[in-house]
Structure 1
């Protein structure tokens, strides 16, 4: 039985609408800001495994103990992106996804159900629609979806610093 791991993915919202000459800059800035947010939340890059770049984002596996930090990183990232977007164009907006499940750590690409579930949550039409709806009121800088399993373990288990069950209950569908 593989060990339970924390899974994290992100995607740049609207990357297909970014001018070609700015794509690499937007992608690299997103990578840097996500890494900074993860480090701020205590998630070490050295613990990352099964990394897979997705073009305008990535999917990765971390030790299960990093699960709360992966969720809390969204709060810090929101602030950093807000400040970045006040000074630079095009604005960078991100969708984040956090999941937890048994995963085998492997070298190279390897399809595993939890990674597929992570990618599907990140790309879910309901998640994208919610982000679009929020954008009619105020453009979302960071949108986070947390799988039910990750929510029960990290948030309801009261291991997160920024997301609490009493706060998030009104946002659950």
Structure 2
């Protein structure tokens, strides 16, 4: 019999990221596998762009059309910057593609034991990715930008990532002023999170989704989105 000791539960903080394709279930069957393969390629290119080797990821999990990966906690800022590059790659790709592709990205930090296969940190990551307000914001831009050349990817980060990295201006490509706070509530999870839509005003999008505080949205050359009083 194996003796259970505290060493079996020794866990270290990891930075984790999840990506999935928006609306892939609505695609025709012949597009499903090519879409997944193409997204994997674009995600790998985004990892390389921020200085992370895709092959060095830990706790790799396939999630249908997406994936979950973990890196040492010091890589959390780089994982946050993945969305910037992925958004650019997807928007560029969508300009020439018959069917647009977009992605949702979630970033979190939490403990993970090397010898475990099921992690609370990944459960939390999934709750963030599926947050209703985040998905409403993503859906808003999918409807507003049917060709996918203005919006390619959106990101949600956990409170721990916000406090430790984003809010203190630790991620150059994700300025705090371009993020918006939301509440994430499920039967087994409740916390604040922050969403970021590269090149777009996340606060204005949330206001547009809430008629009580709606702010009209207009495009400009610099950020692709601005608000008017």
TM-score, structure 2 normalization: 0.69
**Aligned partners of 2:44, 2:78: CA distance in 1, in Å?**
12
Alignment partners' CA distance in 2, 1:47 and 1:152: 26
Q: Which residue of 2 aligns with 1:86?
A: 95
Q: 2-side partners of 1:123 and 1:70: how far apart?
A: 18
Contact (CA 8 Å) 1:49, 1:106: kept in 2 or not? no
Choose between structure 1 and 2 for higher RCO, CA contacts under 8 A separated by at least 6 residues.
1
* Pair 1:19 & 2:28 matched: yes
Distance 1:159 1:12 in 2: 27
Q: Which residue of 2 aligns with 1:50?
A: 59
From 114, 127, 136, give the equivalent of 2:134.
127
More strand by share: 2
- 1:154 is aligned to 165
Shift of 1:172: 2.1
* CA-CA distance at 1:149 after TM superposition: 0.6
Q: Provide structure 1 residue ranges, at least 5 long, that are not aligned to the other structure.
A: none
TM-score (norm 1): 0.91
Contact 1:95/1:142 (<8 A) preserved: yes
Tell me by how many angstroms 1:6 deviates.
Answer: 0.3
Q: Whose Rg is larger?
A: 2
Which of the pair is proportionally richer in helix?
1
Give me the CA root mean square deviation: 1.6
Distance 2:97 2:32 in 1: 14
